[in-house]
Structure 1
Amino acid sequence: MADKFAAALQENDVLLADGATGTNLFNMGLQSGDAPELWNTDEPAKIKNLYKGWIDAGSDLFLTNTFGGNASRLKLHDSQSRVGELNRVGAELGRELADKSERNILVAGSIGPTGDIMEPVGDLSHALAVEMFHEQADALKEGGVDVLWLETISAPEEFKAAAEAASLAGIPWVGTMSFDTAGRTMMGVTSTEMAHLVEGLATPPVAYGANCGTGAADILRTTLGFSAAGFDRPIIAKGNAGIPKYVDGSIHYDGTPELMANYAVMARDAGATIIGGCCGTMPVHIEKMREALDTRPRGDRPALEQVVEAMGPFSSETDGTEASGCGDAQCGSTRRGRRGRRRG
């Protein structure tokens, strides 16, 4: 599995990932408050259609429908005893489709945050976090994923626990944080601090980066922050399709396929090796991103002014990388305090 993912990185200038899981499942009938992971067994045809949409749109890899598949989140739906089953089946459905494709398609096992706050501020211990992540990782490995994909993490402590769990499972992993609070994670981590955190892990990820956030401009600024850190490790950019807006009582993202195509090219030029979409990103967005990455020549690394001109303004004046000398990811948490939230 490690060789397959590493080979894909070596053989391709850029790997195109998938788009939004939740947005597309809601369009298929998932109701707010429902656990998407239950559809792996209750609605397998719809999950296969989700995966197939990414393959048909041109993705090189897609994430499994297992973001909230840990015991803590599934407990909210009285399904904590089904962690192994739901993650394994979610991976098996993806493996089946990937193996049938004429192209080399990678299956990434999605692992989201536990939803709990870790010690010393919260009640979740490092040992229990590792146990929960390990349970999920083992099931995804059994289901046949090529790589574990940790996403939407805010706290460095939780990132470290997931890294230890991946090591115990004996499978390569990648990890992304969500920089959605003035260019930082909700726990105050900057892009520079995450880069240093990653390089200090005993079992570092194959690639790292950012997902979700507050729009294309912000995630491009974050990607530039990773590049500026100077480490030779593949970078992931998986941004939302524009900005969420309420329309007729529902959330819609205003990012057009053309905007996402421009974002994909600019993310590549900013230093990202794995590029995809997050909330609001549909197969039609991925199609345009595929076309743009395949047809537009690589350009120079964009300046912040060029990002704003192409993508619109940043959500905050700075992202914290202007501060001097904080190379320890923990210091972001100390400066800004610690907060936690649940993310669907």
Structure 2
Amino acid sequence: MTQSQDPLSALLAERGYLLADGATGTNLFNMGLSAGDAPEFWNVDHTDRITTLYSSAVEAGSDIFLTNTFGGNASRLKLHQGQDRVTELNRAGAEIGRAVADKAGRKVIVAGSMGPTGDIMAPMGTLTHELAVEMFHEQAEGLKSGGADVLWIETISAAEEYRAAAEACRLAGMPWVGTMSFDTAGRSMMGVTSADLAKLVSRMQYAPVGFGANCGTGASDLLRTILGFAAQGIETPIVAKGNAGIPKYVDGAIHYDGTPALMAEYAILARDAGASIIGGCCGTMAEHLRAMREALDTRPRGASPTLEQITDAMGPFSSETDGTDVHGGCAHAPKRERRGRRRS
């Protein structure tokens, strides 16, 4: 399947930008998922709740939603004695998604979520390329059999694991999107910068149909990362999937402080910074998505935002630079770290 033939690229070419979905974990915790439980089991045990999860994104205006399969690889499921259920759980998650998308009355993309294995890649760790490919491929085939339109690799931190996931998608014959999380002074946990990822994507033989950033520290940092991708001049569509504000510990639980109005502003800034696939990550609920949809549909495209404009709208960066060049020429944060965060 070529990039021009895959459903996501075709829909993006038709619409110009796509709204992705919001949080999976935050929504499922609100439905009763307990900390430490494997949400993937709900694809079989609570299909009605997973249907509600997917449907809420579609009803809020999302063009893409991710399946409830983020931790659906053998390594992660082994923590719950579910390593022998990879195909079953991934197929079930995708089948529920396929049913929701087919009833939407418009074209909606079912993206098969594939998160990291949780293991460290060799030589720093024990996970070999071959074993990582095997685990990702097993998951990919389950999602494919359940009717996913595209595979969505997310929250990756190591270039080696990103390559292994790409190889698994190639073996499955599926188009894929790949995002990393840049949460350590503009870098991934394993030191990858926005420029590094853009260069990696540009050199891949089995390239993704979209790449970008998800989760991370906050929306300001993620937007600066999007500017970093755009600066590389890569033609592959850029994905922005930022958290709904900053996490705060309240009454024994984590809550995100981003309002729908704030996430609407984030969506506009992400689009103007160069992203064409825009969604939310942790803390992003249906009300945030509705506000993002309305903003994207009604507000005209503007010039790429400056760092000052990002901090004025979204609050300060968590680090002084985006990690791409500590000696100059990189995206430096304005010296505004002591300003309070705005809330519109």
TM over 0.5: yes
Select the residue among 287, 291, 300 that pairs with 2:290: 287
Provide the residue aligned with 1:208 in structure 2: 211
**Aligned equivalents of 2:192 and 2:320: distance in 1?**
16
Provide the residue aligned with 2:258 in structure 1: 255
8 Å contact from structure 2 (residues 6, 175) kept in 1: no
Provide the residue aligned with 1:278 in structure 2: 281
List aligned pairs for 1:141-220, cutoff 5 A: 141-220=144-223
Deviation at 1:323, TM superposition (A): 4.5
TM-score (norm 1): 0.93
Provide the residue aligned with 1:242 in structure 2: 245
**Aligned equivalents of 1:83 and 1:13: distance in 2?**
35
Select the residue among 26, 31, 43 that pairs with 1:28: 31
Which whole-Å deviations, capped at 9, do the CAs of 1:242-271 have from their partners, x for residues lacking one?
000011111000000000000000000000
Deviation at 1:5, TM superposition (A): 1.7
Which 4+ runs in 1 deviate beyond 3 A?
Answer: none
**Aligned equivalents of 1:324 and 1:92: distance in 2?**
50
Provide the residue aligned with 2:335 in structure 1: none
> What amino acid maps onto 1:247 in structure 2?
V
Provide the residue aligned with 1:328 in structure 2: none
The structure with higher relative contact order (CA 8 Å, sep 6+) is: 1
CA RMSD of aligned residues (A): 1.2
> What amino acid maps onto 2:97 in structure 1?
G
Deviation at 1:320, TM superposition (A): 1.4
Worse-superposed segment, 121-130 or 1-10: 1-10
**Aligned equivalents of 1:244 and 1:129: distance in 2?**
31
> What amino acid maps onto 1:221 in structure 2?
R
> What SS does structure 1 have at the residue aligned with 2:302?
coil
**Aligned equivalents of 1:320 and 1:4: distance in 2?**
34
Segments of structure 2 that go 5 or more residues without pairing to the other structure are 329-344
Provide the residue aligned with 2:56 in structure 1: 53
Deviation at 1:322, TM superposition (A): 2.8
**Aligned equivalents of 2:227 and 2:82: distance in 1?**
40
Aligned identity (percent) is 70
Which whole-Å deviations, capped at 9, do the CAs of 1:184-210 have from their partners, x for residues lacking one?
100011100110011111211011000
**Aligned equivalents of 2:326 and 2:212: distance in 1?**
20
**Aligned equivalents of 2:6 and 2:315: distance in 1?**
39
**Aligned equivalents of 1:3 and 1:152: distance in 2?**
23
> What amino acid maps onto 2:225 in structure 1?
T
TM-score (norm 2): 0.93
Select the residue among 71, 74, 91 that pairs with 2:77: 74
> What SS does structure 1 have at the residue aligned with 2:313?
helix
> What SS does structure 2 have at the residue aligned with 1:149?
strand
Pair 1:199–1:323, CA change in 2 (3 A): farther
Segments of structure 1 that go 5 or more residues without pairing to the other structure are 326-344
Provide the residue aligned with 2:342 in structure 1: none
Provide the residue aligned with 1:296 in structure 2: 299
> How many residue pairs are counted as aligned between the two chains?
326
